[in-house]
Structure 1
Amino acid sequence: MTDEWKAPDKAKSEGGEDKSWKLLEKTLLAGVQEQRRSRRWGIFFKLLTFVYLFVALILFTPLMDMEKSAARGPGYTALIDIAGVIADKEPASADNIVSSLRAAFEDTKVKGVVLRINSPGGSPVQSGYVYDEIRRLRGLHPDTKVYAVISDIGASGAYYIASAADAIYADKASLVGSIGVTAAGYGFVGTMEKLGVERRTYNSGEHKSFLDPFQPQKPAETRFWQGVLDTTHQQFIASVKKGRGDRLKDKEHPELFSGLVWSGEQALPLGLIDGLGSASSVARDVIGEKELVDFTIEESPFDRFSKKLGASMAAQLAMWMGFQGPALR
């Protein structure tokens, strides 16, 4: 009789425990959902703040530029930075430099232009574009002089550009020159043979794959490629001679076109540069307008904002939409 009376109590107890677990589970789920809801709203308001700041930046940047322009004196020196590798899609691309040059020459308050160069060179095509544009603008605006000022290094394509200026200045320890052309690569023919790997290429055109590093060099193709480099080198030399004129001591020093580099102090007697100085000293002592106004083309506020915020914005949006992070279901 005792066991019969205890059985209903046991079932009752088990049912109570089950209800308690369900109630606890609901409570936990409600707490998790509330946390997720709070987190989503927090992220939403953060995004709103970012958008607000971005719009404010877009609206007030032109106003700040106008205030700066109004605060400038009656005349100033235009400064254009040429930094890093000279190549397409880089900060020192021909498009950016040429756009900066045109803006500077169109400004009636600009009394002179300083190209502040710190570059090891780069594309001969991009350098040639800038060289030609400098000479064109100088012809259209003969009263506005262009001065190249080399800081750490002005070599190869960077010196190509500098040679188009009215005069070149550098620090005594700057690296100047490297009037030459190079094209480098690797050959893996021996390595392929040791590994027992066979290279198979299919092309139409007898010499289409003549730069393939996995195939042995052919004397005729090597001579051809050397001819291409020599032609480009001669174009470089002709432009430098045209830009520097009689100032260049190339007859006494034919090694000027060998690809060597010199310090600014050594470059001066060779005619590679016209004097020692910095961008500020040239603006002050040569142009006569010590105020420097930067005309360098830079990324827009939108581009800078997008690059800095893009990845984190995507992650935050994914979290807000519930696509990331563990959750009790």
Structure 2
Amino acid sequence: MTSFLKRFGAIWRALPFSGASKSLVTVIDLSGVIGDAGGPGRKGLSLKKLEKTLEAAFKPDNLSAVALAVNSPGGSPVQSRLIMNAIRRHATEKEVPVLAFVEDVGASGGYILALAGDEIYVDESSIVGSIGVISGGFGFHEAIRRIGVERRVYTAGENKSMLDPFQPEDPKDIERLEVILTDLHEQFKALVKERRGDKLADDSEMFSGAIWTGPAAAERGLVDGIAQLGDFLRERFGDDVKIKRIAVEGGSLLKKLLAGGEEASGLNASASLLDADELIAAGERRALWARYGL
């Protein structure tokens, strides 16, 4: 009997004269490394790339919610916050709740994207956390010395050549870098506390840069529970909820070339050779994902 009434209710709401409309939830796909990393072919998630997508997602008047499908290992802290702040601004203006769903990874800047949600849900196997800041590089001064290369640098400003990879490390440079990293880390911690509030557990490792699977992240209050986007939306808004995915504009040259067919047909013949810059960027993105075993 219950099943019959549920089905009858769904059919009735779909009829044009019923006076009721289906719930509408738009979904924004936030997948990939965050930030631009150089030339035109080296694009990740950025506010510039997502502006029109965000506008389209929040545009409908009959919105029940906006959902974020987050799958990112992080990247630029600036772009992470710009995107998060833009989502919150739209949500406040339209008075629409935002629900974030982490897929494989919501770590570092990827977790900042998830913080745009009023509620955050994950899969049991999702990787969440990495609330920290990292800076990496290489030192080549011994290598160039061995091959007889002399490094010549001229600056106006004593700190202009800080952390030059072709010169030995300067302890003062390291101290300056540590101040910057600490400042960024404090900003990250403050954002997590602001968005998660009393939900956060008292855990000494919370802001250590550690990562957790879904259930452990829920125990620490970093997320609200275990759920998958489609199932959760149908449970909350009804089986007849309309879920509309909003496409992100653009796409890398490498992806279009590898896709072939119609996507590649419009490209200039000179682009038939893969851009070395794009291949390097692909390697950088691969390294970020590899940190989480993906």
Q: State the 1:173 CA deviation.
A: 0.5
- 1:285 maps to a residue whose letter is E
Q: Distance in 2 between matches of 1:87 and 1:185?
A: 18
Does the Cα contact within 8 Å between 2:23 and 2:241 map onto a contact in 1?
no
Aligned counterparts of 1:74 and 1:84: Cα–Cα separation in 2: 31
AA of the residue aligned to 1:292: I
Contact 2:141 2:166 in 1 (8 A): yes
Matched, 1:123 2:76: yes
How far is the alpha carbon of 1:91 from its aligned partner?
5.2
Query: How many angstroms apart in 2 are the aligned matches of 1:91 and 1:296?
Result: 15
Partner of 2:208: 258
Q: CA RMSD in A?
A: 2.4
Residue 272 of structure 1 aligns with which residue?
222
1:190-209 → structure 2 map (5 Å cutoff): 190-209=142-161
Query: Which string of whole-angstrom CA distances, capped at 9 and with x for unpartnered residues, describes residues 172-227 of structure 1?
Result: 00000111111100112222333333211112111111121011111111111111
Residues 86-165 of structure 1: pairs in structure 2 closer than 5 A: 86-88=34-36, 90=43, 92-142=45-95, 144-165=96-117
- For residues 313 and 90 of structure 1, the distance between their equivalents in structure 2, rounded to whole angstroms, comes to 20
> Is residue 292 of structure 1 aligned with residue 243 of structure 2?
yes
The residue type paired with residue 166 of structure 1 is D
Relative to structure 1, the CA distance from residue 313 to residue 218 in structure 2 (aligned partners, 3 Å threshold; closer, same or farther) is closer
Distance 1:314 1:199 in 2: 35
**Could you state the TM-score of these two structures normalised by the residue count of structure 1?**
0.67
| Inter-partner Cα distance in structure 2 for 1:78 and 1:306 | 26
Q: CA deviation at 1:237?
A: 1.1
Higher deviation after alignment, 89-98 or 275-284: 89-98
Per the TM alignment, residue 307 of structure 1 is displaced from its structure 2 partner at its CA by: 4.4
Q: Which runs of 4+ in 1 moved over 6 A?
A: none
Gaps of 5+ in 1: 1-72, 316-329
2:222 aligns to what SS in structure 1?
A: coil
Alignment of 1:234 with 2:164, yes or no, is no
What's the TM-score once normalised by structure 2's chain length?
Answer: 0.74
For the Cα contact (< 8 Å) 1:97–1:296, is it kept in 2? no
Counterpart CA distance in 2 for 1:148 and 1:185 is 33
8 Å CA contact retained: 2:22, 2:241: no
C-alpha distance after superposition, 1:156-180 (max 9, x if no partner): 1110121121000000000001111
Question: Counterparts of 1:98 and 1:282 in 2: how far apart (Å)?
Answer: 26
Q: How far apart, CA to CA, are the structure 2 residues paired with 1:74 and 1:273?
A: 28
TM-superposed deviation, 1:152: 0.5
Matches of 2:270 and 2:174, distance apart in 1: 51
TM-fit CA distance, 1:129: 0.6
Cα 1:314–1:274 shift into 2, 3 Å: closer
Higher helix share: 1
The answer to whether the 8 Å contact 2:25/2:64 transfers is: yes
C-alpha distance 314-205 of structure 1, shift in aligned 2 (>3 A): closer
Q: CA deviation at 1:245?
A: 0.9
- 2:266 maps to amino acid: L
Counting matched residue pairs gives: 238
Which of 15, 25, 36 is the matching residue for 1:77?
25
Identity across the alignment (%): 39
- What is aligned with 1:179? 131
Cα distance, 1:213–1:271 mapped onto 2, change above 3 Å? same
